[in-house]
Amino acid sequence: MKWKIGSLEIHTRPCQKSDKDFVLGLIKKTLFSYVAKYYKPSVKMFDDRFAKDYKERKILLRGKRRIGFFQLKKVNKKLIINGLFLSPNYQGKGIGKFIMTYFEKFAHKNKLKNIELQVWDNNPAKDFYKKNGYKIVLRKNHKYTMSKEIK
């Protein structure tokens, strides 16, 4: 996929095993501080998960530079966002909002009823999702499940 977001041209490609260090580095940079409030983040757990599901991820690129990644899964009549991560230098530029809108169009086109994601309760991304129409439908331990109905 190729997108023009403001003055930025972004495209995607499938995640490869060679992206592991980039993906882990971005997760460490953007998520581990929230997780660390409750648990010691586990690199081994990440390694195991990456080996199992890296093919489900898409890498976001600006030119040849990797700037983020996302992971989606269709389950029943839901689109599950298993992750949307952007490098800090690319946050606040409309990329996340654009991609979330793309996810909504994808869900609508595929006749999915809603989009669901999980976010740590101390992660400011929760407010981003709320602004984009997502509602908290469940709180379990330190995570919120958020959902948006697709019409």
- Domain positions in the chain are 2-149
Question: Greatest CA span in the chain, whole angstroms?
Answer: 40
**Pairwise CA distance, residues 118 & 145, whole Å:** 4
Q: Mean pLDDT across the chain, nearest whole number?
A: 92
Lowest-confidence pick of 12-21, 28-37, 41-50, 75-84: 28-37
Measured between alpha carbons, how far is 67 from 74 in angstroms, rounded to an integer?
24
Does residue 49 have a pLDDT over 90? no
For residues 78-92, give the mean pLDDT: 94
Look-up of token digits 């996340």: 96
Written as one letter, the residue type at 102 is Y
Task: Decide if pLDDT at 38 tops 80.
Answer: no
For the segment 62-86, the average pLDDT, to the nearest whole number, is 95
Interatomic CA distance for residues 43 and 31, integer angstroms: 12
| Stated pTM of the model | 0.90
Please state, in angstroms and rounded to a whole number, the distance separating the CA atoms of residues 30 and 85.
8
Those residues with Cβ within 8 angstroms of residue 142's Cβ, 6 or more apart along the chain or in another chain: 37, 38, 120, 121, 122
- The tokens describing 4, both together, are 């023009």
Third-level CATH fold of 2-149:
Aminopeptidase (3.40.630)
